[in-house]
Structure 1
Amino acid sequence: MPQLAAIVIHCRDPYLMAPFWSRVTGLPVAPDDRVKLTERTLGPTESVLLSDPAGTGPDIWIAPAGDLPPVGRIHLDLAAEDDELAAVVAAGATVRRTLPRWTVLSDPEGNEFCLFRRH
């Protein structure tokens, strides 16, 4: 059976989006990509890898794309503790609406995602 290996997030600005999704997911930017982000030397079609060094979950690729719909390119559901919402907002997310069991937010480019309360 196929296994989920990676999630790809298409974006306009990987220099903005890679650090944001790294902070929100806790997945570090791969060392080679970290240097390219710092030096702003990514190629025009070059993706940034967010990966758990222990290899415990799927990777996330932050991939530039020229032709994107305004929003809705991704939708992630993330499990979080109650106190983690403030850190996600501080990283650059915007709260869109709050529901009883989850909060709908958007990333810096407007893509919505949800934070669910862990049980």
Structure 2
Amino acid sequence: MTDGAHQYSTPSSDPEELRAQVAHTRRELGHTVEELAAKADVKARARQRADETRNRLRQRAERARGRARGRADHAKGRARGRGACAARAVRDHRMAVLGAAAASAVVAAGVARGCGRRQR
């Protein structure tokens, strides 16, 4: 398109110059029509925006997956550390743990016996 000022101010009577002006005007008009057609092609523009949105969402999802994997690995490492700590505590205090388990078993057996007698 032109910048608003006309390139040819006075019409020429020379046929060759007139043909050149017509060819130039046709080229400009062709470019203008192509630009307008691109703007008017709603389906293509919608498809392009949908593709852009789809790509943007894929990138976000990929980043979220990466963060989730990182957090899961961190949590797994912490759980392993705590599990190892608990196992070490049980090993270090094996007799106390066994005593507590035995006492719990005795209490549970006593409660079960007592409940059985009361129901009769």
Which protein, 1 or 2, shows the higher relative CO under an 8 Å CA cutoff with sep ≥ 6?
A: 1
Q: Which has the higher helix share?
A: 2
| Higher share in strand | 1
Larger Cα Rg: Structure 1 or Structure 2?
A: 2
Shorter-normalised TM range? under 0.3
Q: TM-score, normalised by structure 2?
A: 0.13
TM-score by length of 1: 0.13
